[in-house]
Amino acid sequence: MAETVYEERMGDSDALAWTIERDPLLRSTIVAAWVLDRLPDSERLQAKIGETASHVPRLRQRVVEDPLGVAPPRWQEDTQFELDYHLRRVGAPGKGTRADLLRLAEPIAMQAFDRDRPLWEMTLVEGLEGGRAGVILKIHHAMSDGVGLVRMTAGLVERSAEPGRAAEAGPSEPPAPAPDPWHPLDETLEALRYQAARRVEQGRTAAGAVMQGLSRLVRGPRSALQDAAEVAASAGRLLAPASQPLSPLMTGRSPRVRLHAFGRPLNALKNAGKAVNGTVNDAFVAGVTGGMRLYHEQGGVVPAELRMSMPINLRHGEKGRKAGNQFAPVRFPVPVEVSSPLERMREIRRRISAERSEPSLPALDVIAGALGRLPDAAVTSAFGGMMKTVDFVTSNVPGPPFPVWMAGARILEMLPFGPLSGAAANITLFSYDGTVQVGITSDRAAIPDAQAFAGCLEDGMDEVLALG
């Protein structure tokens, strides 16, 4: 895998995630809960985290905004970085069940980050039932998306229980950062220089696009005009405003969450997808929408469609090497009242394929940059108006296809929990060692009976798995 490129400033999509969380309902916190077969070795764990932090700059950097807000925020080495602040140890609550672990993770997921420190935390949970242990990892979405998070944390896990070279060398701390020489005036001047240079680069890109467009216009005027119209129409579809959620039940919104999780065999989901010549993701989304139908049936009303948001991966070529968010969030209605899991999956596959083909997807980062130049309150209001009308979010993140260990302890489960960011629920799939781990984040105001909701999602997934 090519070496990751860590740029000095946030990308426009990263900056947007950072800005809009001024509204607590739009916080974009990613949480992972790992269940280990035993307590990891303390010294080896400290060494492993220190080694990873020394190779992943984002784990040692804090966010600095320029006074005028003319450029995206800058990543700066935290001169007060303390590994012990980011690594916490607690005892398991209750009887130490997996459910108890998730109850402990809920307030962690709800809490905002200290904006003066690097945007991550890890909590080691001792005393789970059966001699097991837990890890709760939390990062800010401005640092990375789910795929990037897997890359960033790859250094924390090992392919066997045996210690690696870093552990044999003993505990290590990341290098101490040099004092930051920047002053407010320097910050402002550098931000102005950065923005001026970027405008020049964007101008060159735009000029090249104009010349290419003129050339195409001369060669085929009808085709060129049609393409331009399609891109404009595509952008309109992706950014179309909505007044309210489509669900008549899941209408409330709050910063309070519930976490649930379940697992299923990966091959069963693959085989289900093959029933329509589809993918694991097609089967996954069909299972989730089936669960939504069951939940709404319990509530006495089933809408024809619900509005779903889903990230489209844009990690291709040189762009894929950059740290940060490399995805386009798309919103579109999915069928819910279709009772046949086969027909539902077939229709979902068709709609997802159409969304992946939207011609404006590569331009969404440019659109995010344009929005980022608006006042923070305007950006937050505009995006909040769109995101709070999303009924649910689905995300599919590939993980290790083999078992991994953490400081001598085997990781049994890797449970993913994506941010609500204004939606009623987020359902994230993470594949690990032949299984799919499905993490459910639900808004307590939208879904008061989170346990029943999670049960419906499990039943909906099993409907689809039966096809395989």
Q: What is the DSSP letter of 396?
A: E
Q: Say if residues 401 and 431 touch (Cβ distance below 8 Å).
A: yes
Here the tokens at position 43 are: 């010294």
CA 454 – CA 468 distance, rounded (Å): 22
Question: Which residue do the tokens 């790859």 mark?
Answer: 154
CA 283 – CA 38 distance, rounded (Å): 34
Q: Say if residues 276 and 343 touch (Cβ distance below 8 Å).
A: no
Other C-beta atoms lying within 10 Å of the C-beta of residue 388? 20
Which ranges constitute the DSSP H helices of 136-249?
A: 146-152, 165-168, 184-219, 221-238
CA 107 – CA 116 distance, rounded (Å): 20
**Which amino acid makes up residue 79?**
T
What DSSP string describes 123-169? EEEEEEGGGEEEEEEEEETTT--HHHHHHHGGGG-BSSSS--HHHHT
Q: How far is CA 89 from the centre of its chain?
A: 25
Please count the CA atoms within 13 angstroms of the CA of 131 that sit on its side-chain side: 5
Q: What b/e string do you get for 148-166 counting C-beta neighbours within 10 Å, with b at 16 or more? A: bbbebbebbbbeeeebbeb
Q: Say if residues 440 and 60 touch (Cβ distance below 8 Å).
A: no
Which residue, among 230, 245, 271, 277, has the nearest Cα to 385 in the 3D structure? 245
Active site residues: 141
Phi then psi for 257, rounded to 5 degrees?
-125, 160
Please count the CA atoms within 13 angstroms of the CA of 459 that sit on its side-chain side: 14
